[in-house]
Each structure stands twice: as C-alpha cells, then as structure tokens.
Structure 1
C-alpha cells in the first residue's frame, strides 16, 4: 500500500488520492525531534523495563538507524538538517511550559547542559546544523524555528523523531498551521506503544501532513 492510501482515518477513508509530493532541496528541511539520551535510559524498575521494552527495541532497531540514514540522504542532496531537543534553560526548570511541570510521564526536568538532555550521537548535528532547544512540545511554539525556516526560504519540512503522539504531533500541527508542507516519516518515528504510534499517524495524516516511509520520501525530491 502506498502513502496515498495508507494511514487513513475515518475522515479520509473515501477521499481522492492526494497529488504527488514534490520536494525541492533548497526549500526543504529535515527536522529531527527529541531523539535524546534520556529516552534511551532503561528504567530501574524491572516491571517498567519490560513494559517499555518494545519502545526501546523500535528505537534501536528501526528509528535511530533509519533516521541516521535519512539524515545522510538529506545532507547528500542539499536538504537542510535541523535538530530539536527538549530541555530547560534554568537548572530548576522554571522556564518550562506547564505541560512539562505536571506530574507523570510528561514531567521533564532536563537542564540543557546535562548529559541526558543531549541528542543521541548517532543522529546528532554535523557541522553548523541548527539545533533548537524547546521548552514546549511543539518545536515551533517553543523556539525561533518558525523565523529560521522562513529566513532560509524553507517551504516543506520532513519530520522524524519522538514521541509520535506528543512532540511530533504538536510540531506537525504547528507547522501545518503556519502553511508549511509537512511529511512525517513513519519508520523514523515512535511512540511509547505501537498502538499509540499508529493511532496518531492516522489522526494527523492528510490534514496536517502526509505520512510516508523513508523509502517513499526519497522519491519526492526533484
């Protein structure tokens, strides 16, 4: 099944197939979101470690290698590679958005200079690639990324990273609201569970973005 018919929600089950996607390298950026050391740390609790095992397996076997390969392809073809990470600028985290201060999984206290807040080396920045540090889920709302993209003449953004149902979804919606063309690379993303990952892709597909594979996206470049 191709991207034109896959990942359809109820709203788009009967919709016509979308037009071909055309990406021009000088106007396209690859945005990789939140693949950071903290999210690869195994929980101390063995029960939690087992519960999260499928996520860690997908990250190590699928998301990280596929994202690294996608970054290599982008660099080779003159596509700007941009990185976003979630971290706070103050040690006590006062600058975080409310969603990051609430108790539970979303509670994040990641000072920007601490090792666990850094981007995983395999998908880290090369040369002068831009890294934005956000204190919100959306990579646009919490940074100057919107202005940077406009300044560089970017019109289309390829998105990869984690978590599909949180920071990916929030960033994609923000990009779409700003009228960027958005492509989400399914096999370069992950949520805590496969069910959450697939459900969110169906929700955002065809309205906020087009969901494609890493092989498919390479065929869009002119």
Structure 2
C-alpha cells in the first residue's frame, strides 16, 4: 500500500541490476538462483518500472557494487580472516570485470545517480547514496533488486534506522528461493518500512 507520495522527495533505488545477476553467464545467477522464473519475473518488473520512471521524470538511482579498482579485494582483506560476504565475495571472484556492467534497460542514463563507495551489504553503507538523497531532500525510497533476503533487506533496515521511509517493491525483487523472499515479506518488511508492487508504483508514477 502506498501512502501520500511526493515525487520530488522520492527515489527509485535499483540494487544490483548488474550482469552478476542478470546475465546467464553471471556467477551469482549460475551459482545461487534456484527459482529462475521468479527471478526473471522480478527483472521484467524492474524493467517496466525504470521505463515508467524515465518517462515521468522520477529520480532513478543505480546502487550496485563495483570492485574493478580493487582486483585483490583489499577492501575485504582478500577474504582472509573475515566472515560473511567479506569472505564470500573474494572467494567467488565477483563484482569485477563484466559482472559489474549493467545491461539495458538498467544502464544508467545521464541525470541518473550511480552510487559509489559502498562497502557493505546495505547500499547505504559508506556510500555516496545518503549525501545524494539528503542534498536532494529525498526521504522516501523504493527498493528493488537482489537478493531480497541479503542486500535488499540490509538496505531496508539501514534506511529505516537512518530516518528514511522505505518501500520494498516486492515483485521487482527476488531471492535465491521463493521461500526466502516470502520470509522477508511476511516477517521483516513491516518492522522497517512497507511493501508495494510494480503495478501500484507505476500507476502512481503515471497518475
């Protein structure tokens, strides 16, 4: 359900719409996505949303991960003596080379903000996203992307704690398995924000 939304104070945040996930050759798509139909449905919904946002002049943010300038993963100590994603990313060799690229229609256009400096699961962690939003007086975020139960959930939680109103656009997100996605919807979202869907969001943008 959408509350009273101010276009000028809202941003659509596309989380990791990059080849690691979107390409059939992407390491993450090949290794972790089990429910491909749900995943592909989320990509298609994201495509419809970004096209509507561009047509109607809404703020688009590309919040990915790009470690091409850190080929040895020094940020994460090369994966040594660290837990979680800090160890998994170097072991998998992700987020560099072609895996970082964004295919159409998710390739950034001029006037769309590309987040830099991110160092954690949340796209707000040590990144340029928060100053961009505050300088634009934006306080409402629509979160989309991958994976629902990892980086999208982390971003939702941090956005809440930083004072933003955040919506999970549930059918423009996907997890490795449907059960993970549904767990976030049922047990997590209402603590940190609210939920909407692509059709509702597009109707608001085009209304």
Q: Fold-level match, TM-score > 0.5?
A: yes
1:24 aligns with 2:6: yes
TM-score when normalising by structure 1: 0.78
Taking the aligned partners of 2:161 and 2:31, their CA distance within structure 1 comes to 38
Q: Which has the larger radius of gyration?
A: 1
Q: TM-score, normalised by structure 2?
A: 0.83
Which residue in the other structure is 1:7 paired with? Answer: none
Asked if the contact 1:173–1:208 (Cα under 8 Å) also holds between the matched residues in 2, the reply is yes
* Cα deviation code 1:149-190 (max 9, x no counterpart): 000110101110000000000001111111111111111000
* Structure 2 residue matching 1:206: 3-state secondary structure: helix
Moved more, 146-155 or 124-133: 124-133
Question: What is the root-mean-square deviation of aligned Cα atoms in Å?
Answer: 2.7
5 Å-filtered alignment, 1:39-188, equals 39-42=21-24, 52-55=33-36, 57-60=37-40, 62-88=41-67, 89-96=69-76, 98=82, 99-103=84-88, 107-110=91-94, 112=96, 114-133=97-116, 134-188=118-172
| Alpha carbons of structure 1 residues 136 and 49: separation in structure 2 relative to 1, 3 Å | closer
Contact 2:20–2:99 (Cα < 8 Å) also in 1: yes
Change (3 A) 1:178 1:41: same
Unmatched runs of 5 consecutive residues or more in structure 2: none
Q: Counting helix residues as a fraction of each chain, which structure ranks higher?
A: 2
**Segments ≥4 residues shifted beyond 3 Å:** 40-44, 48-53, 96-99, 105-112, 218-222
